[in-house]
A and B are shown apart, each in its own frame.
Chain A
């Protein structure tokens, strides 16, 4: 069993070196998130008016911004906040969405209909627009960005969990566990739910990128994160003004960092999907 999985892993990785690259990128992101402030060459908040708007050079690899702050340091330090927002949001929607979906799939009936209706209602909104509305209603703070991102991702988890649980509800191993005297809730929590985790993990990975994009988009339009806090979305927004006068580095580097992070999670998600379900390859 383990060896077949390992062989399959090797097969998938050899067939798809891109996944290996994505995994490497993922490790880089984790390191930046954990040790970012230690790795940054300068203080990301220190302004130096004399050094404003310097193009990339030997001492400032990514150049400096309009206040003379080191762009590289800001990009590095921002990783923690960006990842934290999206990890929190995804964790929230995973926990809530998958339990709701599991309950809907397992019990069916009224619970299923109510939960399904809630998910459908969320999906009836253009999701980013709904997130804007939620932040407006709850108040313009970073926590509320997390909640908004969590809410708009909820239906995806609920749907996957519902489908996976519903398939397994009548499976042989579940009947066996039921006959062995397990209660319904215990059955769901200990026997069915763990089996739905692989497809859920694919969803998590694909969702992470989308969550990062959403959170950065919200801060790009001026919600949540306030200057001078380094965050990729807001840095791109600040750099946007300078693009038309040719100072590209202000927006490019945080934008590229954002793109790479999203790219990394999307590739990982695709790789994971191949690993878990080779039939769904595209």
Chain B
């Protein structure tokens, strides 16, 4: 019985994402077609003449009515058609697909680093109020959200590349003396391991460390803040007192009883954290010349490559919705209280 209602709840969560998807599609449509100025001129790029603008106008259906255009836009989207990039002349979908793994590898590692530091930090700060860990946590939390990612990235480059010489030059995913591993997943580290090439794996990892660290430093603050707050609240809870009164070991009380409960609200904030991460990712990619979707979008912005920017915004929004959905589903599966009466 419980399982079925749980599945129903998951289904309802999935259905709940539909309005967001519709909203995102409408907004990207409005951003590109319904604004003052001539969208055809935008899409054709800065260097286009009157004839090619007309060609683009017809190709995009901009000479038709807005509802018609919207239908055409949605149909094209459903077929995975995001238009053609003016600067490269290639389909935006293909350009994005080529670069997305680089960005996901970076963001994923950044998030992993943030979680691995922030959760223990938050737990320690909560269990030892007013100790040095607690003060450290407070400083990290306030400084972390104040730090411009592009600035902290440059700072890390200066210290670890220029001064200490520990990090490789901040130029891309792999030093030019290495060849990218044969593509399977698109993640260089994973692909190198799959190919059994540890040397390339470490080379790729070395390139990843600083940018991932930069992203992680930024994402750390909200996670640590939430973990600490939630942990303090749970630790003062009745059931933790019960667990202590039953003589359970400190470890069990802290991890099995307190932390598992405290992580539930942390999971929900991960959505917000991910929103910040996808944004900062753009900045970090620029700082480290990372060949991901972010730096590609920046190039598109500067070159007035309209389709590129629009495709980027849409892809990031869809990715974000997917992540939020995954978080919601995860939460539903973890918390037994949901799905019974909700």
Show the binding face of A for B, using Cβ within 8 Å: 117, 120-130, 132-140, 209-210, 213, 216-217, 220-223, 233, 236-237, 239-240, 243-246, 248, 251-252, 255-256, 258-259, 262-263, 266-267, 270, 282
Contacts and interface: CB of A to CB of B under 8 A. Distances in A.
Contacts of A255: 148, 150-151, 154-155
Contact of B146 (A135, A243, A263): A263
A40 to B, nearest CB: 22
Given A126-B277, A136-B310, 12 more contacts: A124-B321, A126-B317, A129-B282, A129-B312, A132-B312, A213-B146, A222-B301, A236-B154, A259-B146, A262-B148, A263-B146, A266-B146
Given A125-B316, A129-B279, A282 B301 contact: no
**A-B pairs, 10 with minimum CB distance:** A128-B279, A121-B23, A255-B151, A126-B278, A133-B313, A263-B146, A124-B20, A262-B146, A137-B31, A136-B309
A125 B146 contact: no
Interface string B263-286: 000000000001111111011001
A245 B157 CA distance: 11
A122 to B, nearest CB: 8
Contacts of B154: 236, 239-240, 243, 251, 255
B32 interface: yes
Is chain B's interface secondary structure helix, strand, loop, or mixed overall?
helix
A254 to B, nearest CB: 8
B301 A223 contact: yes
A207 B3 CA distance: 42
B28 interface: yes
B158 interface: yes
6 contacts: A123-B275, A130-B317, A134-B31, A221-B298, A259-B146, A266-B146
A243 B148 contact: no
Contact of A270 (B31, B142, B278): B142
B145 to A, nearest CB: 6
A120 B279 contact: no
B19 A117 contact: yes
Interface in B136-152: 142-143, 145-151
Contacts of A237: 150
Interface string B11-41: 0000000011001101110011001010000
A139 B146 CA distance: 28
Nearest to B279: A128
B162 interface: yes
B157 A125 contact: no
B127 interface: no
Contacts of B24: 121, 124-125
Contact of A258 (B32, B148, B225, B306): B148
Contact of B162 (A117, A136, A246, A262): A246
Interface string B290-323: 0000000110011000100110110011001100
Contacts of B26: 121
Is chain A's interface secondary structure helix, strand, loop, or mixed overall?
helix
A210 B298 CA distance: 21
Given A125-B320, A222-B302, A259 B147 contact: yes
A124 B320 contact: yes
Contacts of B277: 126
Contacts of B147: 259, 262
Nearest to B37: A139
B173 interface: no
Contacts of B317: 124-126, 129-130
Contacts of A243: 154, 157-158, 162
Nearest to A140: B301
Nearest to A222: B302
Interface string B69-103: 00000000000000000000000000000000000
A237 B24 CA distance: 31
B170 interface: yes
Contacts of B278: 126, 128-129
A258 to B, nearest CB: 5
B332 interface: no
Contact of B225 (A133, A262, A263, A282): A282
